[in-house]
Structure formats: structure tokens, C-alpha cells
Amino acid sequence: MNMHEKILDNLQELVYIADMETYELLYYNRALAEEFHIPQRLHGKCYEILQGRRDPCPFCTNGKLSQDGCYVWKFYNQLVGRHFLLSDSICEFNGRQVRTEIASDITEHVLLQEQLDKNLSLQNFINHCARKLYRQDADLPFLIDDVLAAIGEYLQADRAYIFEFSDDVVRNTFEWCREGVVPQKEFLANVPVGGIARWMPNFYAHQPILTTDVESLRESSPEEYAVLKRQDIHSLLVFPLWNGKSLRGFVGVDNLDPERIDSSRVLLSSMKFFLSSSLWRRDSLNELHFLSYHDQLTGVFNRNAFQRDVQKRDADIGVIFLDINGLKDINDGDGYSGGDAVLAAVSRSVHELLPDTAVYRMGGDEFVLLWQGGDEWEFRRDVERVRSLFAGTLGFTASVGCAWVRREDDIGEGLIAADARMFAAKRDFYRSSPQSGRYRSGLDDVLDLARPGRLEELLASDSFTLYCQPQFRVADGAVVGGEILLRLISEGKVIPPTQFIPLLESLYAMLQVDLHVFGKVCACLKRWRDEGRPLVPMAVNFSRTTLAFPEVADRLEEIRQKFDIPAELLQVEITETASTEDYRTFQKVVDSIRAKGFRVAIDDFGVAYANLMTLARLGFDELKLDKSLMDDLCGSDKRQRLLRLVIEAAEDMGIRTVAEGVETEEQLAVLRKLGCPRAQGYLLSQPLPVEQFAALLS
């Protein structure tokens, strides 16, 4: 049974669907089956099962139906001996045109009408209100308000209202007030059920409450008297609203015309059925609307809601694509209940982290977040919070991609960019994941580094070992600095950064590693200073994912202060490619780091052939020329002239250049001729354990 059939089965109205050509009964709900005392899913013709006829009904309305709306009529069914108000319409069902009929039992109303022959105006009024509630050209809550207004004016009352039960309170959900009467709906949103305890026995007996003089309650029901008196109520009539076997609420009028008490009884006794049915239909429509725009498993918005909302933006917006890593493996290992639990945890965790951000499940393991209400800097900060959240502490990880879309930009391009970045992160994860064969690079030495908690174990056991590549002054060969290189020792094997860094970046866990390394470098400098050794600036390489963390400069400053190391002895190295991924955000990070007194170097310059002036706008201190620029340097006059221009341009802007990957005496001689002040490479020294580097300084 699909969701729509479940909703129809919970209706108190009788509903059936029949083929318009064959009269075959295709569906009927539980209420109809109970009313006609037939088993569900009985096959046959509608006129046979519902009318007891052998031939099509002469009063069949098929010829009166159109695509434009409903045909509403009344009918007395002899099989069950009940009167019904019928609403017939045409719709599509499994690819064919069918007739849908909704029947409301109005037998009590009809019987009451028989007593109203002398009051035709009231009868017409009731019919008018009932038909209004079944109109389909307006929202149902609006129609209920409209009918309450009509009832209040007809009875010359001060107020007409509906209250609905919710747990241990009743809520005034609909209200009409005569002009000059103070509305009470706002003050009656949560009335304890105990406040109407006197009414409940009548309600459960399906009987109304009539109070013609509130003063009669002064002694017998002082609490009720105080409430009514405070609202300036001197008389009232209320009828219970039942939904099947459940008491839903009550409808009532205050301060009605004493001459119309009998009419009030008849009117509310009739309208209670239609109003109760309308409230149920309202809830059913709300549930259908919710299901149309929400994911049933997680409760967050779905793809329909995303398509609706993404075009409504009227300001800058941040887009975050989030995809759970290894959901198939989780389903295979823990069953689909385990995968469902992970999906629910994603929704819950994101809502807790970013309660004001709309979350959409696009299907499967993919979610999208639409971030609004701040600037790009704040958005990037929250992106990193999301990445940190899904770095493994929850027991699983997720790949994240983002894009900042300005109001005037094409949202489609932003979505494509965020999706592409998420896919790249996903690809990096699977390339490095030992559990998956997707995108595998064959680097199995990282083993279970992706396992939650494993990184913390390695950091605690000091498995990340520091090496230092000495940096020399070209003019005289003096050691003037060092670049920290990282190695991972796992199960007695040395794992180079080219293997473990891509995996940690895909998990957005390099922040922990980079800050750990920075702290170890500061500790080394402090120890060497305490030992009386000479100190030179030390450069630490930082991952692009670490530099995307907005508070990284503050974290570095906290560590520096802890060890009391001068900021000029610490340099942050950033790859050229990282500097071009998101220029505006990157510039803010570089500025914040330099504002703390740290030096910033652009590493691997020449790999991406970036424009020197573009990089210079970042305001860095050192430019490291990639080894690729050293290749064929001695045999290419054109390359030497180009490199001279770079060195001179950098010097003019106060930027120092360092040549990396120097491996021959000829290369060193050319660099000396070109005026490059510093160099490093295997010709001068291979990377050394930090303590050997300290001995070299001594």
C-alpha cells in the first residue's frame, strides 16, 4: 500500500475509484468497506457492490463530469440506509481515466433537516456552508474561517471558534470576532484540558454544552466562571467535534442572540460533521504536502523542496554538497538499518551544527545544504566545521564540496562547481581507502588510516616523524633555514607524504596533523634555544584543507605563545595550486597569518604556471621555485632569462626566492649568476632527521 492509499484509508469519508468505461471498482478505502460490510479489495462493478444493481445506475454522473472541477450532489443509498453528500471528479489512475467519489455521511444532518421545514432560510444556510467547505478554488483553512464568520454573523454572536485537542491542552485554532470584540485566539493557544473538565462528560456523550447565563457558574464552577468572565462571555454554546472514534475538539459561539438558541443548536449540530471532516482533510493535505517536500527517512527536505527553494534566493548563498563515504560498505556490513542510521545521523548532526541552514537529501547518500545569512568568510568557516564534523568522529566520513554564489551569479554554475569539488574529494577518498576498489591507486601502505580513531592513535604514539631539508645561502653556502618534511612510521615501515596526505585531506583531518607538526617544530626550537644552539627560521608545509580553516592563524599563535618562540622563526609554506583554488578566501587566510608575524612562502611555484603578479597580491614573503624549473636550466638560455625576470621581479616586491631541487653544480652556478639568494636540494643536503639538522647548525 502506497502512502496515498494509507492517507485515504484513514479518512472518515467513504472513497472509491472506478473505471469510467467498464465500471470496474478499482479501489475503496477502509471506511467504505466498514460501512458496506464488505471485505477490502473485493472485485466487481461499482453498481453491483455499492448499489446492489445488475446494470449501470440510471443516476450515474459520469456524463456530468469534466476535468475542470468536482460535481457535488446528494444521494440516499438503500443498501446501507444512509444519506450522503457526494463529490465526484475525474482523475488519472495507473494510466487510465477513472471516476473518484468522496462521500460524507450526512444522515444526521438530513434527519435534522426534516425538522427544519418551517425554517427554509436556515436549511439553505447550512447547505451554503457545507458546499463552501468543499470548494477547491481556495485553501481549506481560509474556507473554515469564512464559514465560522458566516455562522457568527447568522447567529448574531460575538465570537465563533474552533478548539482542537493536542496532548493535555486545547488550542484555539480558528476564530471569528464581531467588529469591536477583542480576539482571544492568541491568549487561548494552550489551555489545559482541566480548564474544561466540566464539559468533557458531555463531549464523550456526544452532547453539547449550553450556558445561557454565566453567572450560574459562579458557585458551581468558579474557575470556569473566572475564565469566561474575563473574556466578557455571558452565554455560550459548544458542540464536540468527533473524528470517527476520536474526540478532535469543539466548535462554539459566544454571546449568541437568545432568540436564536434553537437555531444555534440545529446549525452547530449540522455543521459539526462538516467542520470535523474539513479539519481531517486539512491535516491530510498538510501531510501530503509534507511528504511532497520532505525525505521520509531523515525528515529533512527532499529534491522537490530543493528545486523549489534554490530559485527563490534573493541574496548571496553558499552551497555545500555532502556525500557519505562507503555507505554501500555500511549497508553490506550492518544491513540497511545500519545505513539508515547513518543517514539519520547526518541529518541530525548537520541540524545541530548549523540549525539555521536548510538541509536537503537529494537521494541515496547525497545531501545538499543551502547556507544564507552571512558573508563568504563566515560561510567558509562553517564549511570547515562541516568537514571537521564528518572527518570520522561520528563513526563514518563524508566528502564535502562547496561554492559561494553571489546574487548576480548563475546558481546552476555554483551547483556544478560544488558537486565537482565533492566528487573530487570522493574520488580522493576511494583512491586512498583500503576497504574499497573504487578509484584505487594501489597505495595499500596507508592500511586503516581512514578508520575512526586511528589518526588519534598515531598522533599519540608520535608516529609522525619530522625530517628537515636544509636551506643554504647561494653566495657562501651557509645554512640559513630549514623546511620541515613529514614521514609516517606505521608497523615499522616509512610511509611518504604522497601516500598518506591525500587520504587525510579527503577526510579533512590534515588540520590535526599540521597543528601537531607545528607544535613539534616549536618544541624543537625551544629545546635548541635552551641548549644554546643557534636558531634559523623553520618552514612548515600546510595542507590546503588546513588553510581553509578560518581560525588557523589564531591556533598557530596559541601554539607559538605556548613555547614562546619569535614569530619570525616560523614560516608557513603554501602550495601554489592551493593559492588559486579560492583566491578571496585564501587571501584572508594569508593576511591573518602574516598579521600574527609569521612569514608565508609560496611553494612549488611554476607547477601551475600562475601569474607572479596575481600571487604577489597575496602579500607573501618567500617564493620557492619548483624543481621543474631547474630541469634543463643549464642548457636553455630562454629559461635562464625567464627565471632571472622572476627573481628580479620578486626582489623588487620584497619577496625572497629559493630554488628547490638543486642537484648539480652546474645548476647552482647558474642560480648564482642569476642572483637567486637561496637554494636547497640533494646537491647541498638530503632531508635529515631534525636532531641531525640541529647538529648541522652547531
Query: Is residue 199's pLDDT more than 70?
Result: yes
**Helix spans in 70-134 (H):** 107-113, 120-133
Question: Could you tell me which residues are beta bridge partners of residue 489?
Answer: 494
pLDDT in tens, 607-643: 654 555 556 667 789 999 988 888 778 888 888 888 9
pLDDT in tens, 1-28: 567 778 888 888 999 999 999 999 999 9
With 0-12 CB in 10 A as exposed, 13-18 as middle and 19+ as buried, what is 185? middle
Q: Please identify, in words, the CATH class of the domain defined by 303-432.
A: alpha beta
C-alpha cell at 115: 425538522
pLDDT at residue number 15 = 94
Mean of all residue pLDDT scores within the chain: 87
Q: How far is CA 99 from CA 17, 19, 64, 92, in A?
A: 6, 6, 11, 9
With 0-12 CB in 10 A as exposed, 13-18 as middle and 19+ as buried, what is 158? buried
Query: Is residue 515's pLDDT more than 80?
Result: yes
Whether the Cβ atoms of residue 574 and residue 600 lie closer than 8 Å to each other: yes
pLDDT at residue number 46 = 94
Average pLDDT over residues 509-529: 94
Q: Rounded CA gap, 32 and 26, in Å? A: 13
Query: Is residue 260's pLDDT more than 80?
Result: yes
Question: Could you tell me which residues are beta bridge partners of residue 170?
Answer: 165, 191
* Residue whose entry in the numeric block shows the C-alpha cell 640533494: 682
Whether the Cβ atoms of residue 487 and residue 495 lie closer than 8 Å to each other: yes
pLDDT in tens, 348-369: 999 999 999 999 998 888 999 9
Fold for domain 442-693?
Answer: TIM Barrel (3.20.20)
C-alpha cell at 269: 449540530
Look up residue 636 and give its DSSP letter. -
Q: What confidence tier does 194 reach under pLDDT thresholds 50, 70, 90?
A: confident
Query: How much of the chain exceeds pLDDT 70, in percent?
Result: 92
Q: How far is CA 414 from CA 187, 191, 419, 421, in A?
A: 46, 49, 9, 11
With 0-12 CB in 10 A as exposed, 13-18 as middle and 19+ as buried, what is 104? buried
CATH of 3-106, one of 3.30.450.20, 3.90.1170.50, 3.40.1280.10, 3.30.950.10: 3.30.450.20
pLDDT at residue number 632 = 77
Q: What confidence tier does 533 reach under pLDDT thresholds 50, 70, 90?
A: very high
Angle separating helix axes 376-389 and 583-595, nearest 10 degrees: 90
pLDDT in tens, 288-305: 888 888 988 898 999 889
pLDDT in tens, 423-449: 888 877 776 655 554 444 434 456 467
Q: Where is average pLDDT lowest: 90-104, 201-215, 670-684?
A: 90-104
What are the CB-based long-range contacts (under 8 Å, 24+) for 411-418? 411/310, 411/311, 411/313, 411/317, 411/319, 414/317, 414/319, 415/310, 415/319, 418/319, 418/320, 418/321, 418/368
Do strands 71-77 and 96-105 pair parallel, antiparallel, or not at all (unpaired)?
Answer: unpaired
Q: In 10 A of CB 626, how many CB atoms?
A: 18
Q: What confidence tier does 672 reach under pLDDT thresholds 50, 70, 90?
A: very high
Q: What confidence tier does 160 reach under pLDDT thresholds 50, 70, 90?
A: very high
Whether the Cβ atoms of residue 456 and residue 537 lie closer than 8 Å to each other: no
Whether 303-432 and 442-693 share one fold: the answer is: no
Q: Rounded CA gap, 221 and 428, in Å? A: 73
The second-level CATH assignment, the architecture, of 135-290 is: 2-Layer Sandwich (3.30)
pLDDT at residue number 507 = 67
Query: Is residue 652's pLDDT more than 80?
Result: yes
Average pLDDT over residues 545-572: 92
Whether the Cβ atoms of residue 220 and residue 192 lie closer than 8 Å to each other: no
For the chain, the domains span: 3-106, 135-290, 303-432, 442-693
Query: Is residue 548's pLDDT more than 80?
Result: no
